[in-house]
Structure 1
Amino acid sequence: MTALFGQVAFVVWRESMEALLVVGILQGWLTHHAGARATTGRYFLWAGVAAGIAGAALLALVILSLASLLDGDREDYFQIAMAGLAALLILQMVVWMHRQGRGLKQDLERNAERALTGRNWLGLFFLAAIAVMREGSETVVFLYGLLASASETTLPGTLAAVMTGFAFAAAFYWLIQVAARRFPWSIFFRATEILLLALAASLLMAALDRAMGLELIPPLSGSLWDTSWLLDESGELGGIVATMTGYRARPELMTVLVYALYWIATVALLRSARPHPAKRAP
């Protein structure tokens, strides 16, 4: 298994899990609270899921169409921009989950209740469609950024990684539903958030490497140090670490500065997004 295969499978698995979580919450709420109207609600729920998937597929076609219209340096610029955008979206998503994650279930159930009370089934439809399209659109951008920053890709290998991600998501979701009382969702989100942030750093480094290669950004120095004797990024293990975390054995000053600023900004944003405990009244 290559590092790129693992990255693609991980992104699809993680984003699919979030989409499945949203759908599972809405499905469970309809089962327990909608009574005789649950069947009607499920029709609109799954229609919304289908619409969300279609919207994400449309975005993928738009991105691929734009890329096919570009040539030479313009295609390189587009791929650099998409890799950078994917890194920023990953960071934004993790920060958003830190801020909203604890109340996500309650917000979804509250919106579903409004739809049921007012018999506004289109509200449930759009709730599911927006949630699924959001995760699907993020997946499209993330995957394009990953594939654009890779040295070489193959369609069969990419499709195999995507299907592996979907299969793991379905199996893992079923497993957690069975063991829900023993396995808190918070562990899943915290562990995968760390991996996602490392993946965003890797995408940022890949975009920076290409930008410096095209002389869009100066390296500011030669190699500051050489740790290839300890972990060579051209080797099998070093290549996996570099692809998953943005590690560089011989970094220039610009690489070190951007990498350090990314993690400083990430820590600051996560600290600001941490929910504050409610103050007790005197």
Structure 2
Amino acid sequence: MFATFLIGLREGLEAALVVGILVAYLRRIGRADVLPRMWAGIGCAVALALGIGAVLTFGSYALTSQAQEILGGVFSLLAVGMVTWMIFWMQKAGRTMKASLQGGIDRALESGTLWALVAVGFVSVAREGIETTLLLWSMSQTFGQDPTVLIGAAAGLAVAIVVGWMLARGALRLNLGTFFTWTGGFLVVVAAGVLAYAMMDLQEAGVLPGPFSAMAPIDATTGAVLTGWAGFPFGWAFDVSTVIAPTGFWAVLLQAVVGFVPHMSWLQVTAWALYILIVGGLFLRGIRRSRLPSPADAAKAAPQPSSIPSSSPGAA
């Protein structure tokens, strides 16, 4: 619940801020009469996200187990891609998001068509909705469709709506930059775990080589797939099931937060580690860059030369 709560809170707050900016701007320019069109687009975006979730959940029941694993792996990879893109998009465009949204409304109003405003509301919210749906669906598959996954997400979305409303009303102050920085770092780790889950799904389906394929290294005596360095690269990286029970509290907590399971293949571990090193490194570099003053800010902070000429040594 904790992991999906934070996901629902972050993604829901992003959507709430977008909606708040759109609605506040329309009211400020005296065009509250077109708000129903905006809400229609937002409603379509929510319906699309729910529809995708329903199709993924109920449509997979009609597939074979191998097809379900392939579907789960492919859509988990898609979720990782969308989350990664969103993390860096928010890091780069967060400061100009308000101006971009307002510019979109201005262009829609100039066109004077109903569908232009519907499209602004739809596109602005659909991105967060689809990303959240794919990520939560992947996590629900990881945990065997445990209902607490959806309960945590629903609680996070509910809190996000309340927080967004309080921010819009001025009843709450929140450092959004700090909030999105911390939750962005958390999403990097969550996405790495979803990527590791996708690798396992595709290995079980036979799409990728691993412990379930003919390429797995086998112990000549026991016939079991080798574990540890002897099992590299297509065997098991480790198996600590005797130390950490797969269904115990610590296993579930680690799986939800960092994507760790007591029995992981080398491909899973490699994909997880590379994602953390590459994406996490780029994310941290983006944070450092954002804290550096821009050239314009540096120019403003630099001392200005005096306009009064200094006296020469021989002047009276």
TM-score by length of 2: 0.73
Aligned 1:80-95 pairs, distance under 5 A: 80-95=73-88
The total of aligned residue pairs comes to 271
Q: Structure 2: where are the runs of 5+ without partners?
A: 217-225, 230-236, 300-316
Contact 1:223 1:251 in 2 (8 A): no
Q: 1:242 aligns with which of 230, 250, 255?
A: 255
Aligned to 2:228, the other structure's residue is in SS state coil
Would the alpha carbon gap of residues 233 and 204 (structure 1) be closer, same or farther in structure 2, given more than 3 Å must change? farther
Go from structure 1 to structure 2 and tell me whether the alpha carbon gap of 1:188 and 1:272 turns closer, same or farther (over 3 Å shift): closer
Moved more, 272-281 or 18-27: 272-281
- Alpha-carbon displacement from aligned partner over 1:235-277 (angstroms, at most 9, x marks no partner): 4134202221123556554333222211222035434796794
Report the counterpart of residue 134 of structure 2 in structure 1: 141
- Tell me, yes or no, if the aligned pair for 1:84 and 1:145 is still in contact at 8 Å: no
Residue aligning to 1:7: 3
CA contact (8 A) 1:52 1:136 kept: yes
1:151 matched residue in structure 2: 144
Question: Are 1:18 and 2:14 matched, yes or no?
Answer: yes
Q: Which residue of 2 aligns with 1:217?
A: 209
Moved more, 87-96 or 114-123: 114-123
Among 100, 113, 117, the alignment partner of 2:93 is 100
Is the contact between residue 70 and residue 205 of structure 2 (CA under 8 Å) also seen in structure 1? no
Structure holding more helix per residue: 1
Instruction: Please name the residue that 1:78 is paired with.
Output: 71
| Distance of 2:228 and 2:151 partners within structure 1 | 37
For 1:262, the aligned partner's letter is Y
Q: d(CA) in 1 for partners of 2:58 and 2:267?
A: 33
In structure 2, relative to structure 1, the CA distance for the partners of 1:210 and 1:159 (3 Å cut) is closer
Question: Given the superposition, is the C-alpha separation of residues 261 and 160 from structure 1 closer, same or farther in structure 2, using an over 3 Å criterion?
Answer: closer
Q: Which one has more relative contact order, counting CA pairs under 8 Å at least 6 apart?
A: 1
- Give the Å deviation of 1:118: 4.7
Structure with higher Rg: it is: 2
- Among 37, 41, 51, the residue aligned to 2:44: 51
List runs of 5+ in structure 1 lacking aligned partners.
none
Alignment CA distance shift 1:183-1:160 (3 Å)? closer
Using the aligned pairs only, state the percent identity: 24
TM-score by length of 1: 0.81
The residue correspondences of 1:141-180 to structure 2 (distance < 5 A) are: 141-154=134-147, 157=148, 159-177=150-168
| Greater Cα shift, 122-131 or 173-182 | 173-182
How far off is 1:120 after superposition?
A: 4.4
* 8 Å Cα contact 2:197-2:268 kept in structure 1: no
The residue type equivalent to 1:56 in the other structure is A
Say if 1:127 and 1:119 are closer, same or farther in 2 by CA, change over 3 A.
Answer: same
Matches within 5 A, 1:192-271: 192-213=183-204, 216-218=208-210, 222-223=227-228, 232=244, 234=246, 235-248=248-261, 251-267=264-280, 269-270=282-283, 271=285
CA deviations on 1:49-93 (whole Å, 9 max, x unpaired) are 112122223323433454233112111221122222222221121
